[in-house]
Amino acid sequence: MIRAEVFTLRVPLRDARAGAVQTVLLRLTAADGTVGLGESAAAPSIDGIEADTIAGELRDHLLSPLDSEKAFPPLLRALSPPARCALDTALHDLRARRRGVRVADLLGGPRRASVPVNALVPRVPIAEAIAWARDAWRRGIRTFKIKSSDRDADAALLGALRGAFGLGALLRIDANGSWTVEEAIARIRALAPLDLEYVEEPVKPGDLTGMARVARETGVRLAADEDARDAEAVRLIAASGAARIIVVKLAVAGGIAGAMEILQASEAAGLGVVITSRMDTSIGIAAALHLAASAKSLAGACGLATRDHLADDVTANPPRVEDGKMTLPEGPGLGVRLDPEALDRLQEGGEA
């Protein structure tokens, strides 16, 4: 028998002005006491799905204990990608712990012991943002990403980063699909003197024709994020010439299994990959880290250092960043341990 517990967590951000993020934690407990952990951080501003919706979906499908892992495949197919992400991750963790191996070993084995990471620079006054970036620089991080705001603010922050760190820094901007095609072309051309590493999801998801036009007319590498939801989507991106990099998120892919299919499709199409987390706790970050450690190749630093934005965490041993790289945890499964006191402290919605 396998019993499931679902928790909705409210995790405060380091910048108290930004409030908190909500994430959903799933704990599977087998009859022998082995535990598997999974997570799906909510991103309603991107996909419109709230944490309560993810948690409710998991509770509805996991209300009763299940006889064995054989009961899970139909459940996985019935879930939305964010809910499927939590369940799929917990199953990978459970299977690996039962075998006494790491999740990365289930994925063909780790190809690297640590993964280079980028810093997501917060949208705060520029002096604060640069101080944040300098702290990341001291820890060896050399790639900086910003979320797009208005045109002048984007140029000012990227210019300040370039001025602070020179050509030794790699700069990225993520528009989250908020620009029109014409606006994307104009903005990217205006930012050309700053020598961006790439621009992520510049136009509305689904407009691959428009994105391909942006790529042609600017000559800057583009990365697909929201559009890269499964292997077939990756093949369409490659065929259209819309992007040269695929950003892989477990919550979008529906978990580790779906993300592996995206990695394989990207490799077959000759596209680079970067693995990124949402605003997960160290459970979701560890899952993405195992995926990144197992990938055949990476197109650049991965967006896994998002825990820097959280003021609290639900694990006792979060993955560490040293010399600009995040180290794969020791121990079986995901390698992270749930902190019971932190779970009580951060819990909002109780358990199923």
Q: What residues are annotated to the active site?
A: 147, 249
Structure tokens given for 122:
């917060």
* Amino acid letter, 107: L
What is the distance between the alpha carbons of residues 133 and 129, in angstroms, rounded to a whole number? 6
What is the distance between the alpha carbons of residues 146 and 45, in angstroms, rounded to a whole number? 16
Nearest to 26 by CA among 84, 86, 71, 76: 86
What is the distance between the alpha carbons of residues 173 and 301, in angstroms, rounded to a whole number? 14
SS3 content of the chain, % helix, strand, coil (to 5): 45, 20, 35
Name residue 102's beta-bridge partners.
Answer: 333
Report the half-sphere exposure of 214 (CA within 13 A, side-chain side).
Answer: 33
| DSSP per-residue letters across 73-106 | HHHHHHS-HHHHHHHHHHHHHHHHHHHTSBHHHH
DSSP state of 140: T
Torsion angle of the four alpha carbons 281, 283, 287, 293, in this order, in degrees rounded to the nearest 10? 80
Please name the residues in contact with 321: beta carbons below 8 A apart, sequence gap of 6 or more. 117, 139, 140, 141, 305, 327
What is the distance between the alpha carbons of residues 65 and 72, in angstroms, rounded to a whole number? 11
Please say whether the beta carbons of 75 and 26 come within 8 A.
no
3-state secondary structure of 204: coil
CA gyration radius, the chain: 20
